[in-house]
Amino acid sequence: MAAYQLFEELPIWQEARSLVQLIYKLTKQDESSKDFGLKDQIQRAGLSVMTNIAGSFDGSSTKGFRQILTDSKESPGEVPSLSLRSP
Query: pTM higher than 0.75, yes or no?
Result: no
Could you tell me the pLDDT band of residue 68, with boundaries at 50, 70 and 90?
A: confident
d(CA 35, CA 16): 24
Could you state, in order of their start, the residue ranges of all structural domains in the chain? 33-87
The per-residue DSSP string of 52-84 comes to: HHHHHHTTS-HHHHHHHHHHHTTGGGHHHHHHT
Question: Ranked by mean pLDDT, which of 12-16, 42-46, 52-56, 80-84 comes out on top?
Answer: 12-16
13 CB burial (10 A radius; 0-12, 13-18, 19+) = buried
- % of the chain with per-residue pLDDT over 70: 70
Flag whether pLDDT at 53 surpasses 60: yes
For residue 86, the tally of other CB atoms under 10 A from its CB is 3
